[in-house]
Amino acid sequence: MEQKRQQTSIPENAYRELRPGEEYTPLMPASAKPKEVTPYSVGMGLLMAIVFSAAAAYLGLKVGQVFEAAIPIAIIAVGVGNLTGRRNMLGQNVIIQSIGASSGVIVAGAIFTLPALYILGLDARFYQVFLSSLFGGILGIVLLIPFRKYFVKQMHGKYPFPEATATTEVLVSGEKGGNQAKLLAAAGLTGGLYDFVVGTFGLWTESVSTRICEWGAAAADKFKVVFGINTSAALLGLGYIIGLKYALIITAGSCLVWFIVVPLVGSFAQSIDPAGLTALLGVTNEAILADPQSIFTPENLYQFIGKPLGIGGIAMAGLIGIVRQSSIIKQAVGLAVKELGGGKKQVETSVRTQRDLTMKLILTILVATLATTFLFFQFGVLHNWMQSVVAIAIVFVIAFLFTTVAANAIAIVGSNPVSGMTLMTLILSSLVLVSVGLSGPSGMTAALVIGGVVCTALSMAGGFITDLKIGYWLGTTPRKQEGWKFLGTFVAAATVAGVMIILNKTYGFGADSVLVAPQANAMAAVIQPLMSGGTTPWTLYCCGAVLALVLTAVGVPTLPFALGMFIPMSLNAPLVVGGLVAWFVSSRSKDEGLNKARMDRGTLIASGFIAGGALMGVVSAILKFAGAEWKLTEWAASNGAEWLGLAMYVVLIGYFGWHTLRARKEE
pLDDT digits (tens, 9 = 90+) for 211-236: 999 899 999 998 899 999 989 888 89
Rounded CA-CA distance 489/393 in Å is 23
User: 478-506 and 39-63 helices cross at what angle (nearest 10)?
Assistant: 40
Domain boundaries, the chain: 31-667
Confidence of residue 336 (pLDDT cuts 50, 70, 90): low
Q: Cα 534 to the chain's mean position, in Å?
A: 31
For 35, residues 6+ apart whose C-beta sits below 8 A from its C-beta are: 41, 88, 89, 91, 92
pLDDT digits (tens, 9 = 90+) for 416-464: 556 666 677 777 777 888 888 777 777 888 888 888 888 889 889 888 9
For 391, residues 6+ apart whose C-beta sits below 8 A from its C-beta are: 374, 377, 381, 382, 429, 433, 446, 450
Contact 113, 455 (CB under 8 A): yes
Higher pLDDT pick, 330 / 219:
219
Contact 145, 362 (CB under 8 A): yes
Q: Could you tell me what percent of the chain has a pLDDT over 90? A: 22
Sort strands 228-230 and 207-209 into parallel, antiparallel or unpaired.
antiparallel
* 3-class secondary-structure state, position 209: strand
Confidence of residue 343 (pLDDT cuts 50, 70, 90): very low
The DSSP annotation for 228-297 comes to EEE--HHHHHHHHHH-HHHHHHHHHHHHHIIIIIHHHHHTTTTTS-HHHHHHHHT---HHHHHSGGGGGS
* CA distances from residue 3 to 162, 168, 173, 615 in whole angstroms, order as listed: 28, 18, 15, 29
pLDDT of residue 7: 42
**What are the phi and psi torsion angles at 76 (to 5°)?**
-65, -40
Confidence of residue 604 (pLDDT cuts 50, 70, 90): confident
Rg of the chain (C-alpha set): 24
Q: What mean pLDDT comes out for the span 380-385? A: 83
Rounded CA-CA distance 603/74 in Å is 17
Contact 95, 340 (CB under 8 A): no
Q: What mean pLDDT comes out for the span 321-350? A: 63
Q: What mean pLDDT comes out for the span 269-290? A: 79
Contact 244, 579 (CB under 8 A): yes
Confidence of residue 516 (pLDDT cuts 50, 70, 90): low
How many other C-beta atoms lie within 10 A of the C-beta of residue 435?
10
pLDDT digits (tens, 9 = 90+) for 135-192: 999 999 999 998 888 888 888 888 888 888 878 888 887 776 556 667 777 888 898 8
Q: Could you tell me what percent of the chain has a pLDDT over 70? A: 86
pLDDT of residue 5: 39
- Taking Cα atoms as reference points, which of 432, 437, 486, 497 lies closest to residue 464? 486
What long-range pairs does 371-377 form, CB within 8 A, spacing at least 24? 372/135, 373/131, 373/135, 373/139, 373/453, 376/131, 376/132, 376/135, 377/446, 377/449, 377/450
Calculate the dihedral angle through the C-alpha atoms of 564, 567, 573, 579, rounding to the nearest 10 degrees: -60
pLDDT of residue 1: 35
Contact 41, 480 (CB under 8 A): no
Rounded CA-CA distance 460/138 in Å is 8
* 3-class secondary-structure state, position 436: coil
pLDDT digits (tens, 9 = 90+) for 8-61: 577 888 888 888 888 888 888 888 888 899 999 999 999 988 887 876 776 667
Rounded CA-CA distance 586/534 in Å is 53
Asked if the model's pLDDT at residue 346 lies above 80, the reply is no
pLDDT digits (tens, 9 = 90+) for 539-558: 888 999 999 999 999 988 88
Q: Cα 265 to the chain's mean position, in Å?
A: 30
For 208, residues 6+ apart whose C-beta sits below 8 A from its C-beta are: 228, 229, 231, 642, 645, 646, 649
Give this prediction's pTM.
Answer: 0.74
Burial of 289 (0-12, 13-18, 19+ CB in 10 A): middle
Rounded CA-CA distance 414/242 in Å is 8
Contact 603, 241 (CB under 8 A): yes
Contact 528, 380 (CB under 8 A): no
